[in-house]
């Protein structure tokens, strides 16, 4: 987990030319929060993950109501 956080922090810094402004701080905090949530979800191995994995296996037409970018074709 630590290496992934270090990498994402480095990637964000490189993507924004090393600028430390409010936007990059918010982005870094949001990414870190989401990575930690995913880590906890996988670590628990509970029913919540099983439900979401079943939803992920649904047909694209069942799970994509609004597809403005046309990505649903890649999930078939």
Give per-residue pLDDT as tens, 14-47.
888 877 788 888 989 999 999 889 888 888 865 5
- Structural domain includes residue 46: yes
- Structural domain includes residue 32: yes
- Structural domain includes residue 38: yes
**Helix/strand/coil (H, E, C) string of 29-73?**
HHHHHHHHHHHHHHHHCCHHHHHHHHHHCCCHHHHCCCCCCCHHH
| Tally of CA atoms within 13 A in the half-sphere of 73 that contains its CB | 3
Residue 49's pLDDT band, with cuts at 50, 70 and 90, is very low
Query: In angstroms, what CA-CA distances link 13 with 22, 29, 69, 70, 76?
Result: 12, 13, 28, 30, 35
- Structural domain includes residue 10: no
Q: What percent of the chain has pLDDT over 90?
A: 4
- Number of domains forming the structure of the chain: 1
Instruction: Provide the pLDDT for residue 52.
Output: 56
Domain that holds residue 31: 18-57
């Amino acid at each position: 987990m630590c290496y992934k956080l270090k990498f994402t922090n480095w990637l964000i810094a490189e993507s924004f030319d090393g600028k430390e402004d409010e936007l990059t701080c918010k982005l870094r905090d949001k990414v870190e929060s989401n990575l930690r949530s995913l880590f906890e979800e996988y670590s628990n191995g509970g029913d919540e993950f099983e439900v979401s994995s079943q939803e992920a296996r649904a047909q694209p037409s069942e799970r994509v109501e609004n597809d403005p970018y046309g990505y649903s074709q890649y999930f078939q």
